[in-house]
């Protein structure tokens, strides 16, 4: 099965974009004035006021109402300032949380990749599961795609073929079987994750899958897996043994 692979455009790096406080306050006040003016105009139209009585004198009650209105305007302005500051603080906190999650993800990623380079098949197997878990918990799609790309790259690495069951090569045969188990585990994890509905936890649907030139020398079960919305390549892959 051959599917041509198209270049994948990764999303831009998440950056914290905030306007200056002055601009934010100015725009907020302008929006508030427009909203207040629109509300006042609507009330005047709905209540069908013909004109304003300019002959009326300013009495104590009216003056008191104006004072209350002035304090209300000041209080509203303070509330707008507090709203802008709270919004900026929330954005900064969210950006800080994302940076911390990315930092922890990078540390765990480095440790998992180191395990994939171990001479011990058991350690490599632990690295495979660690990378799959990192893909599940990645804070954004680009980091999840990176984990999947590393697993695919491992499958693309050349490996020593089976020396056979000759007793003289028993140790090499057992080592081959152990490392083949690592490759088969990656293929099984790929099938499991692409079977999960898109948008749910541990689903890899929508992520690219590059199995170009991979040798699949065992059972491969992609039954029920969905690869919509992504680029999948089996170009040059070899299917043998199942």
The answer to the question of residue 110 being in a domain is: yes
The DSSP line for the chain is ---PPPPP-PPPPP------HHHHHHHHHHHHHHHHHHHHHHHHHHTT-----SS----HHHHHHHHHHHHHHHHHHHHHHHHHHHHHHHHHHHHHHHHHHHHHHHHHHHHHHHHHT-S-HHHHHHHHHHHHHHHHH-SSHHHHHHHHHHHHHHHHS--PPP--S-GGGHHHHHHHHHHHHHHHHHHHHHHHHHHSPTTSTT--TTS-EE-TT-EE-S----TT---TTS-EE-TT-EE---
Q: How far is CA 39 from CA 28, 42, 45, 68, in A?
A: 16, 5, 10, 19
Residue with token string 């649907």? 205
The answer to the question of residue 158 being in a domain is: yes
The answer to the question of residue 16 being in a domain is: no
Whole-angstrom distance, CA of residue 205 vs CA of residue 190: 10
Give pLDDT, residue 103. Answer: 86
Give pLDDT, residue 25. Answer: 63
Q: Is the Cα torsion angle 172, 175, 177, 180 positive or negative in sign?
A: negative
Give pLDDT, residue 154. Answer: 95
The answer to the question of residue 67 being in a domain is: yes
Separation of CA 104 from chain center: 15
pLDDT means per 10 residues, the chain with 242 residues, are: 38 50 65 67 58 59 66 72 78 80 86 92 94 90 92 92 84 91 94 91 93 86 87 89 60
Give pLDDT, residue 7. Answer: 37
Give pLDDT, residue 193. Answer: 94
The answer to the question of residue 47 being in a domain is: no
- Residue 205 in contact with residue 227, Cβ under 8 Å? yes
Give pLDDT, residue 32. Answer: 67
The answer to the question of residue 212 being in a domain is: yes
Give pLDDT, residue 11. Answer: 40
Confidence (pTM): 0.62
Residue with token string 């603080």? 89
The answer to the question of residue 49 being in a domain is: no
Whole-angstrom distance, CA of residue 195 vs CA of residue 191: 6
Whole-angstrom distance, CA of residue 59 vs CA of residue 66: 11
Give pLDDT, residue 136. Answer: 93
Give pLDDT, residue 75. Answer: 74
As a whole number of Å, the CA-based R_g of the chain is 32
Residue 100's domain comprises: 60-239
- CA angle, 237 then 120 then 164, to 5°: 55
The answer to the question of residue 19 being in a domain is: no
What's the domain count of the chain? Answer: 1
């Amino acid at each position: 099965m051959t599917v041509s692979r198209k270049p994948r455009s990764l999303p831009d790096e998440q950056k914290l974009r905030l306007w200056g406080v002055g601009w934010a306050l100015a725009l907020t006040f302008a929006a508030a004035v427009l909203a207040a003016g629109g509300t006042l105009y609507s009330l005047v139209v709905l209540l069908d006021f013909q004109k304003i009585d300019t002959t009326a004198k300013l009495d104590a009650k009216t003056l008191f109402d104006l004072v209350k209105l002035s304090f209300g305007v000041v209080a509203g302005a303070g509330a707008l300032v507090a709203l802008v500051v709270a919004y900026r603080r929330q954005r900064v906190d969210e950006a800080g949380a994302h940076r911390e999650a990315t930092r922890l993800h990078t540390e765990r990623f480095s440790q998992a990749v180191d395990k994939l380079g171990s001479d011990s098949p058991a350690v490599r197997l632990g690295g495979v599961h660690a990378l799959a878990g990192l893909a599940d918990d990645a804070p954004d799609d680009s980091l999840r795609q990176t984990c999947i790309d590393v697993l695919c790259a491992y499958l693309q690495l050349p490996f020593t073929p089976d020396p056979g069951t000759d007793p003289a090569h028993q140790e090499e045969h057992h080592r081959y079987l152990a490392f083949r188990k690592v490759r088969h585990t990656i293929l099984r994890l790929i099938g499991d994750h692409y079977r999960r509905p898109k948008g749910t936890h541990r689903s890899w649907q929508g992520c690219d899958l590059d199995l170009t030139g991979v040798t699949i020398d065992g059972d491969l079960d992609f039954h029920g897996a969905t690869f919509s919305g992504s680029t999948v390549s089996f170009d040059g892959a070899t299917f043998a043994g199942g």
